[in-house]
Structure 1
Amino acid sequence: MRRRFIAGLMLAAGLAAGNAGAQTFPSKPIILVVPFTAGGPTDTLGRILAERMGRTLGQTVIVENTTGAAGTLGVARVVRAAPDGYTIGIGHWSTHVVNPAIYPLKFDILDDLEPLADIATNPQLVVSRKDLPANDLKGLIEWASANSDKVTAGTAGVGAASHIGALYFEQKTGIKLRFIPYRGGGPALQDLVAGQIDIMFDQAANSIPQVQAGKIKAFAVTAKQRLKAMPDIPTVDEAGLPGLYIAVWHGLWAPKGTPKDVTAKLSAAIFEALADPEVREKFAALGQDIPEPAQQTPAALRAHHEAEIKLWWPLIKAAGIKIE
C-alpha cells in the first residue's frame, strides 16, 4: 500500500514515464550539501537519508559539510551548483527562513531553489531551571510578568531558533526578557541546568534528556500535538498560551532549473527513505517527527516554506535583529 502511495507521489511530482533523462539519472555519485559541521542534528539527518537514498538510486550519496555564516554558505553552494541533480542540499527553518531575513543574501531563497521534500520537524520546549518557582506555563507567565525585564532567557545566539522563540513569547505575552546569547544551544542548556539562567525555548531533541533526568523543568511543547517521546508535557494550547507554535523543520532542495524528471526521482528516493521503518526509528530517537506522506511533497514544502516566511519575517525584522 505504501509503495503504491510512493508511486503516486512520484507521478504527482512530475515523473515522465519513459523519459530518457530519468532513466539515465543518476549515473554518478550525488553530493548532499550539509550547511553545518559534522555531528550536529542536520548532519545526522542528512547522513541517515543519504545512506538510504543511495540504495534506492543505485549511486552513493556523499555528504559534504559546507559551513560558515550560520549555514548561508552551504545554501549558496547549492544555489550556484549545476542544475543537474548531482548537487542537492539539506537545510532547515533557520537557514531557509531566518537567515534570509537578517543576512544580505545574493540569491532568492524561494525562487533560486527547487523543493524536493519536507522531511522532519522538531518543536521547541519551554523549559526552565529546576528551582524556578512555577509548576505550569500559566505560573511561569505570572512569575515572568512579575519579574519583567529581569527574567534571563538563554539563546543559541542572535537569530537562533531559541532567540526567535523567546521573541515570539514576548510578543504573545507582553513580557520583556533579558536575552543571554551563547555560542550554541549546548552551552546555554548547560547554564540552565546549572541554574545560571532562568528559561529557554529549546529544541525538544536537545532538552528531552535533561527533562527526563529531572535537571530542568518543562512547561509546554510549542506544537499542536504532544511529543511522542514525552507525552506528559502539554502543548502550548493546553497549557494556556494558544498559538505559540514554533518548530525547526528540515527540507531538501536542488538548484533552480534542475529537470523535473530528475527532481521527481530524487524526491521519490527521499519518500522511500522516510517510509523505511529503520529511518523512522532513527529520526524518532532524535526527537524528529516525520510529516505525513501528503505533506512531504515538493509542493507541500514550497507552501510550508512560503507560510513560514510570511509568519516570521515581520517579527524578525521588527525586532531589528542584526548579525554581529
Structure 2
Amino acid sequence: MTLQRRQFLHLAASVAAWSAAPRNVFAQSYPTRPVTMVVPFPAAGPADVLARILSEPIRASLGQPVVIENISGAAGSIAVGRVARAAPDGYTIILGNLGTHVVNGSIYSLQYDLVKDFEPICMLPTNYQLLIARSGVPANDLKELISWLKANASKITIGTAGPGAPSHLTAVYFQKALGAQFQLVPYRGTPQVLADLIAGQIDLVFDQASSALPLARSGKVRTYGVTALQRLATAPDIPTLHEGGLPNFQASYWFGLWAPKGTPANVVARLNAAAVAALSDPAVSKRLSDLGAVLPRPDQLKPEALGALQRSEIERWAPIIRAANIKGK
C-alpha cells in the first residue's frame, strides 16, 4: 500500500470517527436542555391533563424541565406531522393516542407514516369513556335515554372532538348499536365540546373518564354509563352501558409517547425509563386512577410493546373506518 493511500484511509477513518463521536457523546449526556412534549389537542382536554400529570415526575427523572406545547387541529394530525419533521434528538416528543397514531392514518392523506416515521417510547394509561348528557335531557337511566333518543333521532346532537377522534368513533359505534342516526357535531377539541354540553347547546357526548368524571360528580351533566364491561373502581356508582341495556358495548382509548424516527436508542431508553418511573410513582398512579384511567401492566411498558399495540390497532380499526366512510376535515 502506498504512503498516499495509507494517509487517505487514515484520514477517512478519522473523519468517520469524528462524525460519530458527537452523536455518541450527545446520546450519553442527554438531556442537557428542556424537553418539549407536544400535546396534539387543546389545553384542559384529556391528553393535556395526562401530560401535565406526567410532566413533573418525568422532569424529576430527566433532570430537565418538560415543556407542554398544545398544537390542536385536524384531530391531532397537525401536531403529529410537526413532530415527525422534528430533529431526532429526544428534545421533541409527542403524547398521542389511538386517534392520532392509528385512526388518522385511515381518515387523512398524511405526509408522514404513523409507524415508519416514529420511535415508540412508552405506553401510557388507557381511558374508558362516560356517556354524558346536558342536564335537561329527560331520561333517568340508559333505557329511558335510548327510548328518548329513538323517538327524537332527527333532533339529537352528539358532540365529538373531530373526525376520527375517540368521541367520534364511539358515537358511530353507538349509532350502530341503537340502529339509529343522529347529528354528529365536530368540534376542534374536547374542552369546546364540554363547554357546549354544559351550556345545553348539544345533547350528548362520549368523553374520556379523566375529564368527564369531575363534571359527573359536580352535577353539571347527566351520566348514563361507562364504556367498560366492568364498573370503574373509582366510580362504582356509575353503571356500564353493557349492564344498562347495550350488551357487550365497550370502547377504550390508550395513550402513548413517541419520538421522531432516528432518535438514538439510548435516548429512547432514557425517556422510557423516565415515563415508567412516572407511572410507577404512587401519587401519580393514584391521581390517574382517580380520574378513571387504567395503567399499563409491567409487560406493556417497553417501547416494543407500544409499537406492537399500534400496529395491531391499525389492522383492527382501518376496515371499520372504511366501512363507516369516516373522512377527516
TM-score (norm 1): 0.81
1:163-242, aligned counterparts within 5 Å? 163-242=168-247
Q: Is the 8 A contact 1:21 1:262 kept in 2?
A: no
Q: Which has the larger radius of gyration?
A: 2
Aligned-partner SS, 1:254 = strand
- Mean Cα displacement is larger for which, 52-61 or 167-176? 52-61
Could you tell me how far apart the structure 2 residues matched to 1:145 and 1:47 are? 40
Which structure 1 segments of 5+ residues have no match?
1-18
Which structure 2 segments of 5+ residues have no match?
1-23
Tell me the equivalent position of 1:283: 288
Tell me the equivalent position of 1:263: 268
Tell me the equivalent position of 2:83: 78
Distance 1:157 1:56, change over 3 A: closer
Tell me the equivalent position of 1:7: none
2:93 paired with 1:88? yes
Could you tell me how far apart the structure 2 residues matched to 1:56 and 1:92 are? 23
Tell me the equivalent position of 2:21: none
Corresponding letter in the other structure for 2:241: V
Q: CA deviation at 1:180?
A: 3.2
Tell me the equivalent position of 2:158: 153
Tell me the equivalent position of 1:296: 301
Per-residue CA deviations over 1:12-59 (Å, capped at 9, x if unaligned) read xxxxxxx97764333444332233344444234323323322222233
1:51-70, aligned counterparts within 5 Å? 51-70=56-75
Aligned-partner SS, 1:230 = coil
Tell me the equivalent position of 1:124: 129
Could you tell me how far apart the structure 1 residues matched to 2:40 and 2:194 are? 23
Measured on the aligned residues, the alpha-carbon RMSD in Å equals 2.8
Aligned-partner SS, 2:293 = coil
Corresponding letter in the other structure for 1:231: P
Q: Is the 8 A contact 2:41 2:189 kept in 1?
A: no
Per-residue CA deviations over 1:232-258 (Å, capped at 9, x if unaligned) read 112233223233322342210112222
Q: CA deviation at 1:203?
A: 2.2
Per-residue CA deviations over 1:139-185 (Å, capped at 9, x if unaligned) read 43344334444433233344333222110111223222222334543
The structure that is helix-richer by fraction is 2
Aligned-partner SS, 2:274 = helix
Tell me the equivalent position of 2:38: 33
- Mean Cα displacement is larger for which, 21-30 or 305-314? 21-30
Aligned-partner SS, 1:202 = strand
Corresponding letter in the other structure for 2:168: H
Per-residue CA deviations over 1:106-127 (Å, capped at 9, x if unaligned) read 1110121111111122211122
Could you tell me how far apart the structure 1 residues matched to 2:241 and 2:301 are? 25
Q: Is the 8 A contact 2:46 2:208 kept in 1?
A: no
Distance 1:198 1:39, change over 3 A: closer
Q: CA deviation at 1:271?
A: 0.3
Q: CA deviation at 1:91?
A: 1.3
Q: Is the 8 A contact 2:45 2:211 kept in 1?
A: no
Task: Count the aligned residue pairs.
Answer: 306
Q: Is the 8 A contact 1:22 1:265 kept in 2?
A: no
Distance 1:97 1:162, change over 3 A: same
TM-score (norm 2): 0.80
Distance 1:238 1:304, change over 3 A: farther
Q: Is the 8 A contact 2:46 2:211 kept in 1?
A: no
Aligned-partner SS, 1:75 = helix
